[in-house]
Chain A
Amino acid sequence: MTISAWETYYPTLLRWLATGGGLILLMVALYRILRWFKVKPEAANGYALVLPWILGLLIWNLYPFGRSLYLSFTEYNIFQPPKWVGLSNYVRMFTRDPYFWPSFRLTLSYAALNVPLGLLGSIGVALLLNRPIKGIGIWRTIYYLPAVLPAAAVALLWRWMLSPTSGLINFLLQPVYRLLNVEPLAWYTDSRLVLPAFVIMGMWGVFGANTVILLAGLKNIPKELYEVAEIDGASNWHKFTRVTLPMLSSTMFYNVITGIIGSLQIFTQAFFIPIPRASGTFLNVKIYQEAFSYGRFGYASALAWFLLLVILLLTLLVFRSSSLWVYYEAEKR
């Protein structure tokens, strides 16, 4: 009755090994072919060695990319072949889907709050972590910890902490509620509080990669600049606004770009914490639901391409604006 390993495990293992071995042979083959065309050994070597990654990019990134663009013009439920419907998915998105605009609004508002607040927060933390105090290494490690925790675990932790009835946050706020004689806040179950709840969760991400990158940026500011400023009689505030901020602006620029992309693509928290429908659905979660819960892969692809275009547009805008506020040392101002 039991299915032997020969039927299940070994064929998979063999195919896996064959793919790996085949890849190595293919690299060797490419090298030989390039050499045959009189390509220099170093160059042939290089091409052969990056071949697996180029293949990976083509097969696992570029192909799905093109495929999803194609699917966005079709009706596709994975059981039946895609049916070409032209722009109808996009028309549906903008005109007929009553849940699209609330979802887009929620996602945009989240990004609009999360990016600036996150930047301010991480600059503040980076400045603190840049101070020469004892045991700073320990503090830096502690503040970096959130970045190495699994996102799903963090989302579940937040779900519990913000839980209206049994959560830690409402427990701690109990005296305040009693003092003001108000009902405890129903965080993510009250549609008006969904956005604040998620922004609070988003702040958690402040302590992590962003702070470390800004800290690196702070460390890169030459000491001489501060010495010169001091000799000229600059106050701490002046040193911050005239030296630190301009010198840090290129790092901030990077953080703003990744922040916009990350905020618009929020998924993990949104997926693990159920929110009332009235408040909308974060776009990435909506994409997931449309595809995997309701079997509308074509429409989900259209939504995904819309999100991509929005992100692209915002990124381009920020890039365009960067000449106004980002300062590179090598440039003249």
Chain B
Amino acid sequence: MKSRNVWNLFAALAVLSLILAACAPTTAPATTQPPAQTTEAPAATTPPPAATTQPPAQKVTIRLTTWAGTGESAELQQILDKINAENTAFQIVHEPAPDDYYTKMQTALAGGTSADLIWLSQEWVANLASKGALLDISDYLKGDSSPAAQLDDYFPDVLKTAAYNGRYYGLPWIAQPVVLYYNKALFDAAGLSYPDETWTWDTFKEAAAKLTKDLNGDGKNDQWGFTLNGWPPPQMFVWQAGGDVIAADLKSCPVDSPAAIQALEFYTELIYSDKYAPPQATIQEQGFGEMFKAGKIAMFMGGAADDLDRVEGLSVGVAPVPRGPANRATFAWTASTVIAAQTKYPDLAYQALVQLTEGIHHWKIAPPRKSLATAEAIAKIEPRKANSAAAIAAAVPEMRAFNVIPQHQEWDSVFWGEFMDPLFQKKAQPADLAPEMRAKLEAFLP
């Protein structure tokens, strides 16, 4: 009988423990917790007590997730260390996730365990903002006098990628324009003058044709004027012709406009063409940027921050991209830091965001701000780019970023899978596909 009572006690305990296990908070029971070091914090809305009396143990942890790899993380950490040393209210902890970043980031957002600050490339802000996953910081920005919060200092076309429906959800931290890298030795050997701001599509094509050569006489080209592999994005050339693939008002996808067709025909003519550029198999075998570094490509359109102009044994110049029929728009690779709507400390996360953005603007080139994207400033931020700084600064005012819609990922997969892929495979002409593609792409517009 005694043992029966013991069992009954067990039974009661069992039920109790399961209830406890189910209701357990995300942090361990208090008994297992060491003295709070970083997580326990005053509510975000109450200002922290004076810095002198506040031990650093009371700092709120603001988590930041990025796709930064090892080297980039180490550089970023220097910025964070400085911010963390100066602030008594919060400290930023970096959680890099270089692999499968967007899956991880979205899973964490959905699971309610997201970092407070998140890096997003330009195609993503509208998507997550439309789902209510990001914090609207427009009101914070209005009352903030810090330099990084002055929206009119940002390049408008870059800033728009951090906005959705007229509200701001983040601050861009980079605006990297595409520039033209050229191999001086190959130009000298061909007796051609170097690319400059007078170049147009025609000058460019002419030079690319002259620089594509069969050096050893085996009937196959082994030096090429240019190379294209889905990069730079075809949008850039459409912009240069005065067209667009998503209109600025997000109401149409005029890929069948004469300007778009003209640009895509120019683009298609260059892709894997015997006259100007290496075939796909060669690029796959030898590597896209690597071929330029190996001295086999005369001209390469790369991001302003690329290391193509500091390859040992290669004398490389940098110029703005050639001008199209309408303008010399260049693609801006841009990304923003945003705040997760689920953050527990919106005020401190916003402060952290502004300070972090200011820090990154003095680290990455080019900063997305007019006051910082000068040749002198760029050369100061990245001394290894001193020789290219003038060309980069010249490209910066003509930067364009994508017009982004909430369903951009899907739009992109159709644009590339059904429109660009057949053009790359030389299975179709832009004019034949464009009208049908316009309808398909417009189906994704909001």
Contacts and interface: CB of A to CB of B under 8 A. Distances in A.
Nearest to B284: A165
Contacts of A21: 17
Interface in B10-36: 10-15, 17-18, 20-21, 24, 26-29, 32-34
A178 B110 CA distance: 54
Nearest to A15: B24
A11 B132 contact: no
B131 A6 contact: no
B144 interface: no
Interface string A14-45: 11001101111111110011000000000000
Question: What are the nearest 5 A-B pairs in CB distance?
Answer: A25-B14, A11-B28, A277-B417, A29-B11, A79-B131
A294 B405 CA distance: 13
A279 to B, nearest CB: 10
B39 A7 contact: yes
A295 interface: yes
A174 interface: no
B132 A26 contact: no
Nearest to A78: B110
Interface string A82-122: 00000000000000001000000000000000000000000
Contact of A26 (B18, B418, B425): B18
Chief secondary structure at chain A's binding surface: helix
Contacts of A14: 28-29, 32
B418 A294 contact: no
Interface of B: 7-8, 10-15, 17-18, 20-21, 24, 26-29, 32-34, 37-39, 84, 91, 93, 103, 106, 109-110, 127-128, 131-133, 280-281, 284-285, 407, 409-410, 413-414, 417-418, 421-422, 425, 440
A124 interface: no
B169 to A, nearest CB: 13
B110 A79 contact: yes
Interface residues of A, number: 37
Contact of B33 (A6, A292, A293): A6
Given A10-B32, A77-B131, A79-B133, 5 more contacts: A6-B28, A29-B11, A29-B14, A33-B11, A98-B440
Nearest to A98: B440
Nearest to B127: A295
Contacts of B410: 293-294
Contacts of A189: 425
Interface of A: 1, 3-4, 6-7, 10-11, 14-15, 18-19, 21-29, 32-33, 77-80, 98, 165-166, 189, 276-278, 292-295
A242 to B, nearest CB: 52
Contacts of B20: 18, 22
B8 to A, nearest CB: 6
Nearest to B14: A25
A79 B109 contact: yes
A33 B413 CA distance: 58
Nearest to B11: A29
Contact of B24 (A18, A23, A27): A18
Contacts of A7: 27, 37, 39
A277 B11 contact: no
Contacts of B12: 29
A132 B321 CA distance: 73
A28 B10 contact: yes
Contacts of A24: 14
A26 B15 contact: yes
B132 A80 contact: yes
Contacts of B110: 78-79
Contacts of A6: 28, 32-34
A160 B91 CA distance: 46
Given A28-B10, A28-B14, A29-B14, A22 B281 contact: no
A28 B409 contact: no
Given A15-B21, A79-B133, A278 B418 contact: yes
Contacts of A18: 17, 20-21, 24
7 contacts: A1-B93, A6-B28, A6-B33, A32-B7, A77-B131, A79-B128, A80-B132
Residue in A11, A80, A292 with the greatest tally of chain B CB atoms within 10 Å:
A11
B444 to A, nearest CB: 10
